[in-house]
A = this chain, B = another copy of it.
Amino acid sequence: MRPDQPVQSAATDQEGSGRGYAKGRARRQEILRTAHRAFADQGFRATSMREIAEAVGLSQAGLLHYFRSKDDLLAEVLRLRDEETYAFNQRFGRETGMAALRRLVDLVELNARQAGLVRLYTVLSGESVGAGHPAQPYFISRYTELRERVAGYLRGARAEGLIREDVDVVQAATSILAVMDGLQLQWLLDPASVDMPEVFTRFLDGYLRGLA
């Protein structure tokens, strides 16, 4: 059988070729969208594979054909989320020092237009501090990496003469990332009271002035 030949009936379509492949991909996307929404609404632990299967019209066995476990589904949801960050970094990743620090304002502005993604992040990162949560290693290494990245920007700004020599750049990076996360929480809870990009812009101005 040639791989491009659509000989299977719709009912017996399998992943891997022609129309069946396209249908499989579409179904996979639908599962991921459903899981994203469920995790963002109620968290990973409170979401069952059964309710995801029901929401997309599959049996549990059918769902397991696409994702072997809830942990696998979580890993893929987080990977897709990272692609958004990756795309942002590709656009601006060549900047360094103070210019790169200023780009964080653009990132916060982008986040303010993507409440669903931010909610997913806030719910899962909060949940991940619980005992033995499957996303805990992901968030630990993510923050390790982010602290190093932002510390690198601060080192650059120090080399540019814009930040004092005695500033501990890793600690300052930790604080800048902390503001970003904490603002997301307050903004999601009360968007009418917290203008996230505006608050962050003023914060960064004030803080960087303090480090100068």
Name A residues whose Cβ lies closer than 8 Å to a Cβ of B: 40-43, 45-46, 119, 122-131, 136, 139-140, 143-144, 147, 167-168, 171-172, 174-175, 177-183, 185-186, 188-190, 193-194, 198-200, 202-203, 205-211
Contacts and interface: CB of A to CB of B under 8 A. Distances in A.
B129 A188 contact: yes
Given A123-B130, A174-B183, 15 more contacts: A43-B45, A119-B129, A123-B127, A123-B129, A172-B206, A174-B186, A178-B181, A178-B182, A178-B199, A178-B203, A181-B182, A203-B207, A209-B210, A210-B210, A210-B211
Given A172-B206, A182-B180, A210-B211, A143 B43 contact: no
A131 B41 contact: yes
B129 A189 contact: yes
B202 A168 contact: yes
A205 B166 CA distance: 13
